Amino acid sequence: MKKISGNKLLVKALKEEGVDILFGYPGACTIDISDEIYKQDYTKVVLPRHEQALVHAADAYARSTGKVGVCLVTSGPGATNLVTGIATANYDSVPLVCFTGQVARHLIGNDAFQEVDIVGITRSITKYGVTVRKREDLGRIIKEAFYIARSGRPGPVLVDLPKDVMAELGSPNYPETVNIRGYKPSTGVHIGQLKRAVKMLGKAKKPLFLAGGGVNIAGANKAFTELVERTQIPVVTTIMGRGAIPTTHPLFIGNLGMHGAYASNMAVEECDLLFSIGTRFNDRITGKLHAFAPKATIVHIDIDTSSISRNIQVDIPIVADAKEAIEKLLEYVEPIEKKESWMEQIEGWKEEHPLRMKPKGDQMQAQDILETINEVFKDDDKIVVTDVGQHQMFTSQYLEVNEKTRLYMSGGLGTMGYGFPGAVGAQIGNPDSTVIAISGDGGMQMNIQEFATAVLEELPLILCVFNNTYLGMVRQWQKLFYGKRYSMTDLRAGAATRRGEEHPPKYTPDFVKLAESYGAKGIRVTEKSEMKAAFEQAKANRALKVPTLIEFMLDPEVQVYPMVRPGGTLEDLLMD
Amino acid sequence: MDNTMKKRWISLYVENQVGVLSKISGLFSGKSYNLESLTVGTTEDPTISRMTIETNSDEETYEQIKKQLNRMVEVIKVIDFTEVSVVMQELMFIKVKNCTPEDKTELFQIAQTYQAKVRDYGKDSVLLEFVHTAHKNTAIIQFLRSEFNSIEVVRGGSVGIEAITMPKR
């Protein structure tokens, strides 16, 4: 048996795991791995311009392809720059394998150049993390890393690779099977519990489905829609669950939670059965805990036992993969007649406070932009990736999500800077889809350097920047709850404004010129009437294989409504 | 659900690997769970370590602790020791200092009463070794503190194993 280096074994492992895209950034401790990839002319390597963008790109690639996203970065700062992205993936259950370089074993603990204890740093935000300390463990650890990342509740796994371990010669074998005695992700569905849940479905007078991101991750959208249609039970979703059923479906009410629709939140208040699937009842969803779904029996299906009865005490817990559970439910559930009076009550709430922005004359509003996207890209297979902030909430309210549209965002961690690199990763994984990023002027600048990656990879992205010259979501809280003291949220403030002078020129940066400087296209839209043409132009530009940035100039005074007061109850909604 | 705070015990089988202890203790600090004591040592299988964990928590939090431990890759098995028959003991050393000759005589009597071993003694100090339940050790500390003005205490933390016949804590 010819011995091979750890570097060679890693490349072999990537091949066997079917990794065809590697998101990498090189450095001293991984240069041998880069060299091995070059020599074997193996995988397609994408080189984002910052490791944080790199891991977000791998994350969105994973979300949008169902494959494991793979990162390779160097030790020290390369590794620490991954931290935000790893936490983002962890909160949204995204399968990643992050390989980090590490200094040679005899240097570990010496405060060597570019040495950090990255396994220690990321311990609480990874599903699993390990430093490979022996060459003979390398193959097994890589195999386990991929298995752990994608099985059960998916999540990020970090594998730290000391340089000397990787140089050492050893077995060329990459194991075919995995056996981890402490890790047996639960499969199958407890039929007894399921039958109890089915019984509740039949008995309830005001039943309600609540679908979270788990439904989307499990790819259970079709099965779920079938379940909804068979039972005629209305649906609310979390923002991560949006698209679990097409948002245009007559049984879809809307999102619940802090910026959820009035009707959705009222339905949660009033329902007598809350049948929830794949959600962890995050505080942005529930508001004040003791007042959440006060009249309901709660059924909760989740793949992660620790998500059950953590925030909300549930009556019927079912530990299962969302898709398996829904498919099993379909075996047992009989068609149920529509609850007419319940539906009427919901329709009443919808009419009372429909989800729409208050028009302000001819002023362009976020809702107009999103509705234009719905219209212009109606027939496109598309992926929309957002950043974090007001634009994200507007998107979660007004973007139609259906069989043709997928929506990705940093829902759990709320990571600004996710949008643009996320779009890069999604487009790389889905070359035939139209990929639209929606960002604010704040988040866009957190990873603006990715223009280089997008242009060089010839990604025909459509990048929408909702520019209101403020960090809008924080400003919104300041306007509503902090006496309009706009501390630290004015993106045009600085030395001049501190001196009491006028704001500096309006465009800092000039996003259009910035896009053009990278070789991308830029369009600025200030009037409602220009929106459609801009999107048509961006759509046409896709043939040129360049990204198009569209900057929408918006009024900073516009707020996201409705809004549940932080820590308030879902009933206590602030309306425009 | 029992939402009173009380002492609860967990026995854990974990992989005997670098970083596992840190991961377990990090879970308690990161999620603000109380950790009264944690002991760890290898088992008959050198690749497996066993931990005995004592926590003061309400039932809801305790359920979460067990679930969170269970989902860790390095944790092989979680056993709830709160409601089962176990033998659980803690090693404790107490050094009593600045003793008068009368104090020393009394300490030898105390040692006899509490089945303690006198491990060492000098001109004006006595070193006692106790092996009892953590609860009883706490009581002994209180007693000795009230009787003597200078004591030094080192506790080992509880170690537990399932009983064969007799429940004892």
Q: What integer pLDDT is reported at residue B1 of this predicted model?
A: 64
Indicate whether B80 and B92 sit together in one domain: no
Our CA-based measurement puts residue B168 at a distance from the nearest CA of chain A, in whole angstroms, of 29
Residue B166 has pLDDT above 80, yes or no: no
Q: Do B73 and A180 touch (CB under 8 A)?
A: yes
Indicate whether B56 and B111 sit together in one domain: no
CA dihedral A443, A68, A50, A450 (to 10 degrees): -60
Tell me the CATH number at B26.
3.30.70.260
Do residues A366 and A397 lie in contact, with contact meaning Cβ atoms separated by under 8 Å? Answer: no
Indicate whether B128 and B59 sit together in one domain: no
Q: Which domain holds residue B102?
A: 87-162
B21 in contact with chain A, both atoms CB, cutoff 8 A: no
Q: Do B73 and A313 touch (CB under 8 A)?
A: no
pLDDT tens string for chain A (576 positions)? Answer: 899 999 999 999 999 999 999 999 999 999 999 999 999 988 789 999 999 999 999 999 999 999 999 999 999 999 999 999 999 999 999 999 999 999 999 999 999 999 999 999 999 999 999 999 999 999 999 999 999 999 999 999 999 999 999 999 999 999 999 999 999 987 788 999 999 999 999 899 999 999 999 999 999 999 999 999 999 999 999 999 999 999 999 999 999 999 999 999 999 999 999 999 999 998 888 888 778 999 999 999 999 988 888 888 899 999 999 999 999 999 999 999 999 999 999 999 999 999 999 888 899 999 999 999 999 999 999 999 999 999 999 999 999 999 999 999 999 999 999 999 999 999 999 999 999 999 999 999 999 999 999 999 999 999 999 999 999 999 999 999 999 999 999 999 999 999 999 888 878 899 999 999 999 999 999 999 999 999 999 999 999 999 999 999 999 999 999 999 888 887 778 888
Whether residue A26 is preceded by a cis peptide bond, meaning omega within 30 degrees of 0, is no
Size (chain B), residues: 169
Locate tokens 């009024």: which residue?
A: A555
Indicate whether B98 and B64 sit together in one domain: no
Using a CB-CB distance cutoff of 8 angstroms, which residues of chain B are in contact with residue A305? Answer: 67, 70-71
Among B22, B55, B84, give the residue marking a domain's end.
B84
Our CA-based measurement puts residue B15 at a distance from the nearest CA of chain A, in whole angstroms, of 8
What proportions of chain A, in percent to the nearest 5, are helix, strand and coil? 40, 15, 40
Query: Nearest residue of A to residue B60 by CA position?
Result: A310
With an 8 Å Cβ cutoff, the interface of chain A facing chain B consists of: 119-120, 123-124, 127-128, 130-131, 133, 148, 180-183, 304-306, 308-310, 313
Residue B169 counted as domain residue: no
A552 catalytic per annotation = no
Detail the DSSP E strand segments found in B97-139. Answer: 117-121, 126-132
Q: Which two tokens stand for residue B96?
A: 């009593």
Do residues A4 and A40 lie in contact, with contact meaning Cβ atoms separated by under 8 Å? Answer: no
Query: Nearest residue of B to residue A183 by CA position?
Result: B73
Indicate whether B79 and B97 sit together in one domain: no
What CA–CA distance (Å, rounded) separates A383 from A374?
12
Question: Smallest Cα–Cα separation from A245: which of A277, A272, A293?
Answer: A277
B2 in contact with chain A, both atoms CB, cutoff 8 A: no
Among B67, B84, B101, give the residue marking a domain's end.
B84
Indicate whether B76 and B92 sit together in one domain: no
Q: Do A306 and B68 touch (CB under 8 A)?
A: yes
Residue B116 counted as domain residue: yes
Do residues A217 and A93 lie in contact, with contact meaning Cβ atoms separated by under 8 Å? Answer: yes
Of A133, A305, A309, the CB nearest to B71: A305
Using a CB-CB distance cutoff of 8 angstroms, which residues of chain A are in contact with residue B14? Answer: 182
Q: Do B75 and A128 touch (CB under 8 A)?
A: no
Using a CB-CB distance cutoff of 8 angstroms, which residues of chain A are in contact with residue B68? Answer: 306
Indicate whether B95 and B158 sit together in one domain: yes
Using a CB-CB distance cutoff of 8 angstroms, which residues of chain A are in contact with residue B64? Answer: 306, 310
Q: Which amino acid, one-letter code, is at A423?
A: A
| Best A121, A306, A308 residue to mutate vs chain B (most B CBs within 10 Å) | A306
B79 in contact with chain A, both atoms CB, cutoff 8 A: no
Using a CB-CB distance cutoff of 8 angstroms, which residues of chain B are in contact with residue A181? Answer: 76
A473 catalytic per annotation = yes
Indicate whether B17 and B55 sit together in one domain: yes
Residue partners of B66: CB distance under 8 A and separation at least 6? B10, B78, B80
Tell me the CATH number at B104.
3.30.70.1150
Q: Do A124 and B72 touch (CB under 8 A)?
A: no
Indicate whether B63 and B130 sit together in one domain: no
| H or E stretch at A574 | strand A573-574
Using a CB-CB distance cutoff of 8 angstroms, which residues of chain B are in contact with residue A313? Answer: 1, 60
Of B19, B60, B77, the CB nearest to A119: B19
What are chain A's domains?
4-170 (3.40.50.970), 191-352 (3.40.50.1220), 366-560 (3.40.50.970)
Among B38, B55, B84, give the residue marking a domain's end.
B84
Indicate whether B28 and B71 sit together in one domain: yes
What is the b/e burial string over B85-94, where b = at least 16 CB atoms within 10 angstroms of the residue's CB? Answer: ebebbbbbbb
What CA–CA distance (Å, rounded) separates A199 from A451?
54
What CA–CA distance (Å, rounded) separates A147 from A176?
11
Query: Nearest residue of A to residue B12 by CA position?
Result: A182
Q: Do B60 and A128 touch (CB under 8 A)?
A: no
In this prediction the pTM is 0.95
Select which of A40, A114, A345, A537 is catalytic: A114
Select which of A143, A163, A206, A350 is catalytic: A163
Residue B30 counted as domain residue: yes
Question: Smallest Cα–Cα separation from A144: which of B51, B11, B67, B15?
Answer: B15
Residue B53 counted as domain residue: yes
Average pLDDT of the residues in B110-118: 96
Phi-psi region of A77 (alpha: psi -120 to 50; beta: other; left: phi over 0): alpha
Q: Do A310 and B64 touch (CB under 8 A)?
A: yes
Q: Do A309 and B22 touch (CB under 8 A)?
A: no
A114 catalytic per annotation = yes
Indicate whether B17 and B80 sit together in one domain: yes
* Cα atoms in the Cβ-side hemisphere of radius 13 Å centred on A101: 29
Our CA-based measurement puts residue B167 at a distance from the nearest CA of chain A, in whole angstroms, of 28
Residue partners of A507: CB distance under 8 A and separation at least 6? none
Beta bridge partners, A563, equal A574
Counting the structural domains of chain B, the total is 2
Query: Nearest residue of B to residue A118 by CA position?
Result: B19
Using a CB-CB distance cutoff of 8 angstroms, which residues of chain A are in contact with residue B66? Answer: none
Indicate whether B79 and B112 sit together in one domain: no
Q: Do A119 and B27 touch (CB under 8 A)?
A: no
What CA–CA distance (Å, rounded) separates A552 from A366?
9
